[in-house]
């Protein structure tokens, strides 16, 4: 018999809870969240750091700084790197409607996307110069629904989820599309796995799928698999080294499941809930039970 164990902790003036299956009762995760609120939290629920602006995407860098895609305000959004003390050490301001992606690259550049009449991927140097520009072949009637968590791959290409087009595309640096897969709903996150498959979150479709190189779905999980129906706008995702997948429910309200970890055989082994009004747009799991996530984060 499975026994559910819930832990309720008060932290920084709000409550959060984590729930585990009995055979995974010791699971904790530290993580960075981006969205209406941006903060770094340890496995005990203590907020270690926060940022005063809404963000779309973000990473904790090896040096401890935070790299963030900042939501548009009265501008086109931006990318910033900030220290734990709040000092900005890098900033690139968007020139169109939105900046929705950020990724620090091995070559030292920063990858970002710009949504607008000319949707594009940019690699920007630390000096703020555009080193690479790749046009994204996307609809332009709705800038907000052009693309989301684009990532540069180890082969030098770029993987781009295109929401309203309902397609995930792999672009070469010259802009040529070399792979694509149609999705059953708006793709938000696309993660190229080590086996060559691609993990995709279909946001308002409340569905996560894994497709092979031929675009065939080899695994999927959705609300149909759980009586609790934890999916509620599946935005960000991360594949952990143990093969489990953590998924965010961006539209979850205070007291509802905002993050959950599901195994390959579709068992939920960890959930996260808090009383914050803001949902979790995207996230980075940093450790499990106090041990750092090893290798390149698959997110």
pTM: 0.93
In a domain, 169, yes or no: yes
3-state SS assignment for residue 225:
helix
In a domain, 199, yes or no: yes
In a domain, 187, yes or no: yes
In a domain, 243, yes or no: yes
Structural domain of residue 78, as residue ranges?
4-291
CATH of the domain at 251: 2.120.10.30
Contact between 296 and 285 under an 8 Å Cβ cutoff? The reply is no
In a domain, 247, yes or no: yes
In a domain, 296, yes or no: no
In a domain, 286, yes or no: yes
Per-residue pLDDT of the chain (299 residues; tens, 9 = 90+): 344 444 444 454 456 677 665 554 689 999 999 999 999 999 999 999 999 999 999 999 999 999 999 999 888 999 999 999 999 999 999 999 999 999 999 999 999 999 999 999 999 999 999 999 999 999 999 999 999 999 999 999 999 999 999 999 999 999 999 999 999 999 999 999 999 999 999 999 999 999 999 999 999 999 999 999 999 999 999 999 999 999 999 999 999 999 999 999 999 999 999 999 999 999 999 999 999 999 889 99
In a domain, 17, yes or no: yes
Please give the tally of structural domains in the chain: 1
């Amino acid at each position: 018999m499975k026994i559910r164990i819930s832990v309720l902790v008060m932290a920084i003036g709000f409550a959060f809870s984590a729930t585990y299956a009995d055979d995974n009762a010791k699971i904790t995760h530290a993580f960075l969240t981006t969205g209406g609120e941006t903060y770094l939290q340890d496995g005990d629920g203590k907020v270690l750091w926060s940022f005063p602006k809404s963000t779309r995407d973000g990473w904790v860098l090896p040096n401890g700084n935070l790299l963030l895609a900042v939501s548009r305000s009265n501008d086109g959004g931006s990318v910033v790197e900030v220290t734990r003390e709040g000092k900005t050490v890098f900033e690139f301001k968007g020139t169109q409607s939105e900046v929705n992606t950020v990724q620090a690259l091995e070559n030292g550049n920063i990858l970002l996307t710009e949504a607008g009449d000319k949707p594009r991927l940019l690699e920007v140097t630390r000096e703020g110069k555009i080193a690479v520009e790749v046009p994204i072949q996307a609809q332009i009637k709705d800038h907000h629904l052009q693309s989301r968590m684009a990532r540069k791959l180890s082969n030098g290409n770029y993987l781009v989820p295109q929401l309203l087009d309902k397609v995930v595309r792999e672009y070469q640096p010259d802009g040529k599309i070399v792979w694509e897969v149609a999705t059953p709903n708006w793709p938000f996150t696309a993660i190229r796995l080590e086996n060559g498959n691609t993990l995709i979150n279909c946001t308002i479709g409340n569905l996560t799928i894994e497709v092979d190189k031929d675009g065939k779905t080899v695994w999927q999980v959705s609300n149909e698999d759980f009586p609790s129906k934890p999916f509620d706008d599946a935005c960000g995702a991360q594949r952990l080294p143990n093969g489990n997948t953590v998924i965010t429910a961006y539209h979850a309200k205070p007291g509802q499941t905002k993050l959950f970890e599901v195994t390959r055989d579709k068992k939920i082994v960890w959930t996260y809930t808090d009383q914050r009004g803001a949902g979790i747009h995207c996230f980075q799991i940093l450790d499990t039970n106090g041990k750092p996530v090893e290798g390149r984060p698959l997110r």
